[in-house]
Amino acid sequence: MSNFLHTMIRVGNLDRSVAFYTQLLGMQELRRRDVPEGKYTLVFVGYGPEPAHAVIELTYNYGVETYELGTAFGHLAIGVPDVYALCDKLRAGGAKITREPGPVKFGTTVIAFVEDPDGYKIELIERK
C-alpha cells in the first residue's frame, strides 16, 4: 500500500519557519536532523506522527537566506476548524494574509490564503 509521506520546501531561516508552522499553525516538530557535512538541516513538522500523517519537511541549506519560488508551485492546503479565528491569530503573529477569510466564489466553502515566512502560499480550508 502506498501513502503520501511529505512535501519538502526550502527555507531561509529555520527558526523563523519552525515557529510559524508550530506556534501559528499548531503543528508539532516531529523530528530534526542536522547534517554539517552536507551543510543542511531538516525539520519535519505536522499534525500527527509519521507515517500515518503527511508532513512538511523544512530544509535549511546553510547560508542560503532566500529562494526563487518559481511559477509551477501552487500552494499547500490545510483543513482547519475556524478560518476566521486562525487568520486573526496568524495576523497577530505577523503573518501575511493574502486572501481574507470568506466563501469561495460561486460556493460556500470558507477559505483564506496566508504566506509563510519564505512566501510559500498556504490555503486554509474550513472543515467544521
- 34-71 pLDDT, tens digit each: 999 999 999 999 999 998 999 999 999 999 999 998 88
Which of 40, 65, 90 marks a domain boundary?
A: 65
Residue type present at position 21: Y
Query: Per the residue annotation, which of 29, 50, 65, 123 is the catalytic one?
Result: 123
Domain boundaries, position 78? 74-128
- Do 30 and 49 reside in the same domain of the chain? yes
- Do 89 and 117 reside in the same domain of the chain? yes
Which of 12, 34, 65 marks a domain boundary?
A: 65
C-alpha–C-alpha distance, residues 113 and 116, integer Å? 10
- Do 101 and 126 reside in the same domain of the chain? yes
68 catalytic per annotation: no
The CATH number of the domain where 100 resides is what? 3.10.180.10
Q: How many CB atoms are closer than 10 A to CB 19?
A: 13
The structural domain count of the chain equals: 2
C-alpha–C-alpha distance, residues 49 and 55, integer Å? 8
- Do 44 and 79 reside in the same domain of the chain? no
Q: What is the pTM of this model?
A: 0.89
